[in-house]
């Protein structure tokens, strides 16, 4: 007589909570439904592996991005520190050179002028002696002027190589340098670069430094502003000129100081040296250009640069924005 096999309904086992381990040996379970794991084990393992691989890749990319930002920030801080040290060293060297060179002729001028006064203050003034001394004072004054010219000579317009320069390219380069500073201070940046601008003849390094200095000044001026926006615009000016405008929404410039800000040693910053804008003015003028400042409505300042294109060397008149 054949042995009958015990049959169990898997659905009923699940209903009554009976596990397979409690069933007698040799039984057969029918209507067994496979679990998600049993049906798609390979696919689940593949998807899990892909997700883990993506998570690892994303984590690595985030780490690299953070490392790159730290490296850029460190490089930017080091650049700023070196630039500040260079400006201080340059200012010190210039001061020492000017003081050393003009001390003797000024001393001579004072001495000869005092002697001339003594000749004139006598009961019988010696006009001839006094005139002779004053002629020497005039000569010493011209000599002092020549000394100052010679001190400024190394920074003149003919000592640096100039070539055809794309202004828009300079602006984009500067924005790449200050990218971290703009994001760090939560500044909105608006770029409006004119198309088909004429190239200008200039020294790229000097012009780039001018634009960088103006942009950094704009960023610093917005330190306490609620709404911070930096706008840079380039456009054709005149027949063949280029105008660059850098506008901010910062603290602005007192109207009484508009005529002073480009003078050497004048500064409104607590730690400023008063050389940045003066150097900018010198560089732009050495490129047959013009730089000026105006108020930005309703808040902030606009610094504008006007330079002629390479087909014209004469200064093209500009108007204020």
Does domain 163-308 sit in CATH 3.30.565.10? Answer: yes
- Which tens digits make up the pLDDT trace of 236-262? 887 778 999 999 998 888 777 777 788
- Which tens digits make up the pLDDT trace of 149-194? 655 555 554 445 788 889 999 998 888 878 777 888 899 999 999 9
Q: What is the pTM of this model?
A: 0.53
Which pLDDT score is estimated for 174? 85
Which pLDDT score is estimated for 320? 37
Chain centroid to CA 145: how far? 36
Q: For residue 30, what pLDDT band results from cuts at 50, 70 and 90?
A: confident
Cα gap 156→148, rounded to integer Å: 12
Cα gap 159→200, rounded to integer Å: 17
Q: Taking a C-beta distance cutoff of 8 angstroms, is the pair 294, 288 a contact? A: no
Closest Cα partner for 185 from 158, 136, 157, 218? 218
Q: Taking a C-beta distance cutoff of 8 angstroms, is the pair 292, 281 a contact? A: no
Which pLDDT score is estimated for 118? 85
- Give the start-to-end residue ranges of the domains of the chain: 86-155, 163-308
Residue in the structure block whose two tokens are 């003078």: 263
Question: Is the four-CA dihedral 157, 160, 161, 165 of positive or negative sign?
Answer: negative
Closest Cα partner for 184 from 216, 207, 158, 208? 216
Helix segments in the chain, DSSP class H = 10-16, 36-121, 127-152, 167-177, 179-184, 204-221, 276-286
Closest Cα partner for 214 from 302, 299, 309? 302
β-strand pairing of 229-237 with 188-193: parallel
């Amino acid at each position: 007589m054949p042995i009958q096999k015990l049959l169990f309904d898997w659905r009923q086992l699940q209903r009554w909570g009976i596990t397979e381990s409690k069933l007698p040996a040799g039984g057969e379970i029918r209507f067994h439904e496979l679990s998600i794991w049993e049906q798609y084990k390979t696919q689940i393992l593949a998807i899990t592996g892909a997700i883990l691989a993506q998570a690892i890749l994303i984590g690595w990319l985030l780490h690299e991005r953070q490392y790159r930002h730290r490296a850029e920030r460190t490089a930017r801080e080091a650049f700023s520190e070196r630039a500040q040290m260079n400006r201080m060293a340059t200012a010190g060297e210039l001061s020492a050179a000017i003081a050393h060179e003009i001390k003797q002729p000024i001393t001579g001028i004072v001495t000869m002028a005092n002697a001339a006064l003594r000749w004139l203050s006598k009961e019988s003034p010696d006009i001839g002696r006094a005139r002779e001394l004053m002629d020497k004072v005039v000569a010493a004054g011209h000599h002092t002027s020549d000394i100052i010219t010679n001190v400024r000579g190394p920074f003149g317009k003919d000592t640096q190589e100039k070539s055809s320069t794309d202004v828009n390219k300079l602006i984009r380069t500067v924005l790449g340098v200050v990218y971290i500073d703009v994001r760090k201070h939560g500044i909105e940046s608006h770029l409006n670069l004119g198309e088909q601008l004429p190239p200008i003849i200039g020294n790229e390094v000097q012009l780039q430094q001018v634009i960088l200095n103006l942009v950094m000044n704009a960023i610093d001026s917005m330190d306490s502003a609620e709404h911070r926006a930096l706008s840079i615009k380039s456009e054709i000016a005149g027949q063949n000129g280029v105008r660059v405008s850098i506008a901010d929404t910062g603290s602005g410039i007192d109207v009484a100081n508009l005529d002073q800000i480009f003078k050497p040693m004048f500064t409104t910053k607590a730690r400023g040296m008063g050389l940045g804008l003066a150097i900018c003015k010198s560089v732009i003028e050495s490129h047959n250009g013009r730089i000026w400042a105006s108020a930005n409505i309703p808040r902030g300042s606009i610094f504008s640069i006007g330079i002629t294109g390479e087909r014209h060397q004469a200064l093209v008149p500009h108007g204020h924005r």
